[in-house]
Each structure stands twice: as structure tokens, then as C-alpha cells.
Amino acid sequence: METYTRQTHVSITRLDAHTEEYKFPPFLQINRKVNCRKIIEGDEEEIAKANRYMKLHQPKRITEDDYITNINNCNNFVNRFGYNAYTVMEEEREFPIAFSILTFKDVDQTERLLRSIYRPHNFYCIHIDNSSSEEVHKSLRKIANCLSNVFIVSKTVDVIYDHVSRLRADIYCMNDLLSKSNKWKYFINLPHQQFPLKTNLEMVKILKIYNGANDIEGITNRPRLLSNRFQYSYKYINYTLKRIGLKKGKLPYNANIVKGSAYGIFSREFVKYVIFDEKPKAVLKYMEDFRSPDEYYWATLNHNEVLKAPGRFKGNPEKKPWLAVYASWHPRDRCRGKFVRNICIYGVGDLNELISRKELFANKFYPDYQYLALDCLEEYIHNKTFSPLPFDSFYYRQLPFIRKP
């Protein structure tokens, strides 16, 4: 695999008082055949119009070759894609956030997510599956080479569905991010099919209210615990995760197994705990042969008092709100797009609900299905960044898991 030497770290620090003069970059302009504002407001006539349009017109996508060919000048790349577009408020600068992005395809969607959360003082680790094409690796490395606070993880794995490799990919990024900077306050892990519902400034305001508390889902009620995933041992054999027998031994430190999401919001102290403390290392060793250990590891660490994780939740896990990411599940939730493996792939008809959510991100979007949903959500976040809405902190200040100042 080809490697690159960083050639140009473009300095992006815009503190521009004349933001009202800034125009959406031509490359990123939303298709004016539809009115995104009306779609987001829930105008059914405009939503129907957008659906008709998408049936007749394929999305205009950027290929890996486009990125490889066109990223020869980092200044041109930064300007063309709008990485220098946004004003950075002092409040944001004083509260850097670290992100990981796990991806294996769709470089254009991955880059779009990176661009939507990018600020020059934050830190970004990208994990690319070992099995991804050479073009995916090459194009993302070229992108990372142009942005000094974006890097490819130092150790990659081939992420396998339901396997411990998914968990290890995030841990490798955690380790690298700790070594990159001692300034960032929180870590958020993302797959490339998520998209933000909040601006960076809004995320900062929310995380400052968290005050060191983690936002990690916790499920203890059966049957949602899905105990068959950890009562047996699993092994990856011939490209399939197979059950090989009953699980032996007990969870270390007499901790209880708690289920949650693979995604969360983690304080810096929690990340340091995961990387350096013996307790989480012992828990990880025990969970290596679980099915989907990424859905048990973070939750178990955060919701067991005996494990002493920084920023942990000390109450009933089932009563803790979880605001890292919003997903719509069949049959519980409505979906105006389509369900794939019981999770909603969002469409334009879902945007009105999504923008009212308290969560920081939404999962998930496909770049070639109902593509105007991503276009309009990107426009919404862009406009809200330049014309911030009043931030109502009341909801977040009442959350039961935040740490009081």
C-alpha cells in the first residue's frame, strides 16, 4: 500500500467577523430543484417533489479517483471543499474534541462527515479497514495529509461484523489520539454513515454541561440484554462468526454485564482509563469471544461501580438517557426512508423530526438512497453554524448523568 509524506499542513484558523458575506462553496451547493428549508419544516408537497426528483436523477458523487487526482495542492483542496469556511469561536477553541471515524468504503461520504465536524483545533483519527480497496486507502491518506489535525490510525484491522475487531479499531484510535494531544476534552466515535445534528459550538456547550461524565448507553433488562451473545463463546471461522461452546469463567471483579451501543461520548479521563488501567484490559480480555463485544464493553465499564471508570454513571442504567446518536428502529420508530436490518436509512421525510432531536448525531444515511436527505441536513448544519439559533441548555442541565460543577 502506498504511503505519503505530509507535504502541506494548511493553517486554518478563520476568525472572520464578516461571516454574512460567506457563500456556500460552489462545489457543495445543494440542488436548487428542491427547497431544503421547506423539506426540513415538514412541507409534504416539497418532500413529494424531492422524492420525484430523486427517482429521475442519480446523485452526483465524487469517486476515489477524483480525490486522488485532484488533491495535488492542499490549499486548493481546503478552499474547494470549504475546510476553511467556518468561524471558530473562542469557546470552541478552548474545548477541543477528538473524533474517530470508522470507514471501509464511500470516501465521498466519509469526507463529507469529516468536513461537517471539522474544526482546526479538534483532532480526527480515521480507521480504514485492511480489506478496503487500495483506492479507498490512497484517497483518504491524501485527504489526511492536507489537514494537520487529521490522521490515519497507526494500526488498522479488518473490521468484521459482530467481532472484537470493531472494538479494537476504536481503541487503536483512542490510543493514537491520546498521544497526539493533551488538550482535547472528549472523544466521540463515529461510523462513516452517521451525520451531525448539532454544530460544533452546540456540541461544545453540551459537553461542557456533561462536565466529565460519559454518555454511554446502558441496558440491563432481559430480553434486550441478548444473553446468548455472551453465554457462549464465538470464533471467526471460514468468514463466519460461529458459536463454539459455553462461555467459561466470570466477568472480572464480579462486575455485571451491561449492554449498550458501540458508539458513545467518552471523557478524556475515561479514554485514559481504557488505555492504561488494568481493569478495562481484563474486561476486554474476557469479552474477546463475545458476539458483538463492542455493544457490551463500553456499557459494562460505565455502569459498574466496582470497575471505577472515570465519568461513570452510578444510577440505574435503564433510566439514563443516551444522547450520543439517534437511530430509528423497527417496529418501535417511524421511518420515512427504508428499514435495513431493522434500522432506518433516513430519507427527506425524516428531517423534520431529526432536527428536533436532542442527540448529537443521527445514524444512518446512504449516499445513493434518498441522497437529498444528506444534502439538506448538511445545508441546515451549515446555515445554523453561520446563524446560530439560541441554545437552550435547560434540557441538558437536567440530565441525571451530568456531573455538577
Residues 54-107 pLDDT 10s: 999 999 899 999 999 989 899 989 988 889 888 899 999 999 999 999 999 999
What pLDDT score was predicted for residue 386?
Answer: 85
User: Is the pLDDT confidence value at 117 over 90?
Assistant: yes
356 lies in some domain: yes
Total-model pTM: 0.92
Q: What pLDDT, in 10s, does the model give residues 149-207? A: 999 999 999 999 999 999 999 999 999 999 999 999 999 999 999 999 999 999 999 99
256 lies in some domain: yes
Q: What pLDDT, in 10s, does the model give residues 201-231? A: 999 999 999 999 999 999 999 999 999 999 9
19 lies in some domain: no
36 lies in some domain: no
Q: Which three cell numbers stand for residue 229?
A: 451473545
Q: 216, 313 in Cβ contact below 8 A?
A: yes
Backbone angles phi, psi at 253, to 5 degrees: 65, 20
What pLDDT score was predicted for residue 318?
Answer: 97
42 lies in some domain: no
- What total of structural domains would you count in the chain? 1
Other CB atoms closer than 10 Å to residue 276's CB: what's the count? 11
Question: Which residues are registered as beta bridge partners of 236?
Answer: 241
The parent domain of residue 186 ranges over 52-405
What pLDDT score was predicted for residue 239?
Answer: 85
Q: Which residue has the cell 432536527?
A: 355
Confidence of residue 352 (pLDDT cuts 50, 70, 90): very high
What pLDDT score was predicted for residue 32?
Answer: 66
45 lies in some domain: no
Q: 127, 173 in Cβ contact below 8 A?
A: yes
If you average pLDDT over residues 299-318, what whole number do you get?
Answer: 98
Q: What percent of the chain has pLDDT over 90?
A: 85
If you average pLDDT over residues 321-325, what whole number do you get?
Answer: 98
Q: 317, 309 in Cβ contact below 8 A?
A: no
Would you please indicate which residues are annotated as catalytic (active-site) residues?
Answer: 295
Question: Which residues are registered as beta bridge partners of 103?
Answer: 128
Backbone angles phi, psi at 348, to 5 degrees: -60, -30
User: Is the pLDDT confidence value at 21 over 80?
Assistant: no
